Amino acid sequence: MKKISNDIGKNICKPDFYLLTWIFMVGSFFGYCWETAYSFVLSGHYCNMQGVVYGPFVQIYGFGFVLLTIFSYQIRNRNIFSVFVLSSGVGTAFEYFSSVLQEKILGVISWDYSKSMYDLNGRVDLKATIVWGVLSVLFVKYLYPWFCRKRSRMTRKKPIKIATFALAAFMTVDLAITMGATYRQRQRYLGIEATNSVQVFFDQHYPDNPRIKFVD
């Protein structure tokens, strides 16, 4: 019987702008599909769970996958168990501090694990930690090597290079508008009237998102 190797790093390339951009986009889209499906299972009806103003994306997953990519390259020569344990820790820390930053900067609560049996301040829980580890192993072993095999096309074909820069520019603007719209919704939540043209613009074009919960 042929022995299965634990070498997971031989097909992993060094992350670069092209690779990270596409991984961010794919990760964000995966997050939208996952959150929408999960919401449907819990509620029994469709709810649009996109995390940005434009497009079917949940950006926190995109940033998470980018972090996994960079981290995976650093631990590419580790065995599967090590990848699971280390990535679980890194993913959990990322989720925790993302929750803290959202709350401190925008006053937003995007997730709450306080009803879970094994949670930490409602920001992370044991189930999410295990999911981080499993996703990381699958990502390192299968998805990341696939991206690496496609990487040469990204830098060799001009249309793909143009598309990469266009997507990066689009998501940068999308994220900036999303942050502005969320911040302005927070101001409306606090009863702060619009005092300049930028605030008026956000009030007119980006109404309240009922899914957003603010810290009192």
Least confident of 18-22, 56-60, 110-114, 154-158: 154-158
Please tell me the pTM assigned to this model.
Answer: 0.85
Region 62-69: what's the mean pLDDT?
Answer: 90
Computed over every residue of the chain, the mean pLDDT equals: 87
Query: How much of the chain, in percent, has pLDDT values that exceed 90?
Result: 41
Three-state SS letters, 141-196: HHHHHHHHHHHHHHHHCHHHHHHHHHHHHHHHHHHHHHHHHHHHHHHHHCCCCCCC
Q: What is the pLDDT of residue 2?
A: 41
Residue 157: band (very low, low, confident or very high) from pLDDT cuts 50, 70, 90: confident
Residue 27 in this model has a pLDDT that exceeds 60: yes
Calculate the alpha carbon distances from 187 to 51, 70, 80, 131, 199 in Å.
19, 36, 47, 35, 9
Q: What is the pLDDT of residue 204?
A: 93
Query: What is the Cα–Cα distance from 129 to 95, expressed in whole angstroms?
Result: 9
DSSP 15-46: P-HHHHHHHHHHHHHHHHHHHHHHHHHHHSS-
Query: What is the Cα–Cα distance from 60 to 80, expressed in whole angstroms?
Result: 25
What are 125's strand-pairing partners?
Answer: 119
**End-to-end CA, the chain:** 61
Please tell me which residue, 10 or 94, carries the higher pLDDT value.
Answer: 94
Residue 6: band (very low, low, confident or very high) from pLDDT cuts 50, 70, 90: low
Please tell me which residue, 209 or 53, carries the higher pLDDT value.
Answer: 53
Residue 173 in this model has a pLDDT that exceeds 50: yes
